[in-house]
Amino acid sequence: MRFYRTVQISGRDLISHAFRSALTALGVIFGVGAVIGMMAISEGARQQSISGIEALGIDNIVVHSRKSTSGSNASTEGSVYTAAAYGVTERDIAHIKKVFENVKLVVPVRDTRKSIYVQGKRSDINVFATTPEFIAMSKSRQWDSRGRFICDLDGASVNAVCVIGKTAARKVFQFHDPIDKDISIEGQPFRVIGVFENPQSVKMLGELDLNNQIFIHLETANAVFGKTSRQKSSGSVESTKVEADWLYINVIDKTQIENTAARLRTYLQTLHPLNDYEVQVPYELLKQKEATQLIFTIVMASIAAISLLVGGIGIMNIMMANIYERTKEIGTRRALGAKKRDILLQFLTESVLLTTIGGIVGVGLGVGMAHFVTHMANWPTEVTWMSIIISLGVSVIVGVIFGTYPAWKAANLDPITALRTE
C-alpha cells in the first residue's frame, strides 16, 4: 500500500504541473522515438538486403562471365567483324562437375542476346538459355498450373519452346492467355509452354528481374542460334561468343562453401589469366552485410541515444528546480513523520513515471515515424518488439539514473530549515 500511495502522490504532482511535465518529457519522447524510428529503418533495410542475398541461395556460388579488365578478348575478323570470346566455358563446367566433390549441381545460364519486340517496339525482355534445374536453383515456381518448365527432352529434341516470366507475359500478351502462344525470337517462333514467377523478384546483375525474362533450353539455343551472337555497335558488328554468362553452383555442405569458392577461384585464375569472370558467394556477402548492418545500427542507435541523454539531463535540472519549489512541502511531510526513504522514493518515482510515460509516447512517435517513412519514401521499415522493450527499458533507466541525485537531495533536506523556507 505504501508503494501504491507513493505512485499516487507522484502522479498527482505530475498532473498538477502537466505543462511543465510534458516539456520535461519531450527529450525522452524524442529520444525514444528516434531510437524506435532509426532501428525500424535499419531493420527494414537489413531484411531487404539480406532477403535479396538469401534469394540467390546461401548454399550457392555464382560465377559471372565478363569482358576482361586486364586484357583484350577481341580478335579481328577482316575489317567488318570483331569477335570477343570470354567467360567460363563448357570445359570449365565439366571440370567443376567432375573434380569438385562438394558441388551438387551446376546450372549454366547464357544470355542469347536476341531481341524481343512487343507491338513493333523493342522490349526490355531478354531471352536466356539454361537447363531444367534453373527453376529450383533460382527458387522460382510455376505461376500457371497448366504449364511447365523446360525439361531435358526439350533439349534432346531441340524443341522450340520457351517459358516466360509473369511480368514479361503481361507485357507481351497483355490480357490474353500466353499458354500455347508463339513468340518470335530473331524470326524463330517459340511456343510458350509455361509461365513462372520468382516470389523474391531476384535480379541477375542487380537489374535483370527474373519475372521479366524468357527462358529456353540451352541445347535448343545452341542448335538454333549457335554460341556466337552478333550485335551492331558504333557502326560495326561485334561478334560475341560466351558459352555461359552465369554459373549457379550448388554445394552439398554449406559449411565448406568458402573452401569450395577458394578452390574455384584458384582453378579459374589458372585457366582464365585475363580475369574474364567474377565469383560471388552469397554466403560471404550475407556475412559482410550483417557485419556492416550491425555497425550501422550501433551508430544510428548511438546518435538517437544522445537525445535520451539530453532528455535525462533536462529531467535532472527540472527535478532539482522542483525540489527548491517544494522545499516547504518536503519539510511539512518530514515534520508529520515521513522518513528520508519516503521522500527519496517519492521523487524517484516521479522521475521514473515521467520518463516511462515519455517512453510510451516516444514508442508511438517512433512507430508513426516508421510508417511515415514507408508511406512517403517507399522504404521498408520493421518495428521489432526488441527495439520497443529496449527503448522502454532505457527510458526507465534514464529516470532512475537522472532522478536519483535530486531524490537524494530532497531526502536529505533539514526539516526545520525546509519549514522556514518561504
For 300, other C-beta atoms within 10 Å of its C-beta total 17
Contact between 182 and 190 under an 8 Å Cβ cutoff? The reply is yes
Q: Is the pLDDT of residue 400 over 60?
A: yes
pLDDT tens track for 162-189: 999 999 999 888 888 999 998 888 888 8
pLDDT at 161: 94
pLDDT tens track for 176-233: 899 999 888 888 889 999 999 988 777 765 667 889 999 999 999 999 888 776 655 5
What single letter denotes the amino acid at residue 101? E
Q: Is the pLDDT of residue 132 over 90?
A: yes
Q: Is the pLDDT of residue 14 over 80?
A: no
Cell numbers placing 162? 520457351
pLDDT, mean of residues 316-326: 76
pLDDT, mean of residues 281-291: 70
pLDDT, mean of residues 292-307: 72
What single letter denotes the amino acid at residue 78? G
When pLDDT is cut at 50, 70 and 90, the band that residue 32 belongs to is confident
Q: Is the pLDDT of residue 304 over 70?
A: no
For 210, other C-beta atoms within 10 Å of its C-beta total 25
What single letter denotes the amino acid at residue 259? N
When pLDDT is cut at 50, 70 and 90, the band that residue 31 belongs to is confident
Q: Is the pLDDT of residue 51 over 60?
A: yes
* Residue with more model confidence, 21 or 130: 130
pLDDT tens track for 142-161: 888 889 999 999 999 999 99
Distances (CA, A) of 1 to 8, 74, 414: 10, 88, 27
Q: Is the pLDDT of residue 305 over 80?
A: no
pLDDT tens track for 272-282: 888 888 888 87
pLDDT at 119: 67
Cell numbers placing 312? 535525462
Residue 300 phi/psi, 5-degree rounding, is -65, -45
Domain boundaries along the sequence of the chain: 2-52+288-420, 59-282
Q: What is the 3-state secondary structure (H, E, C) of 341-374?
A: HHHHHHHHHHHHHHHHHHHHHHHHHHHHHHHHHH
pLDDT at 421: 62
* Residue with more model confidence, 379 or 160: 160
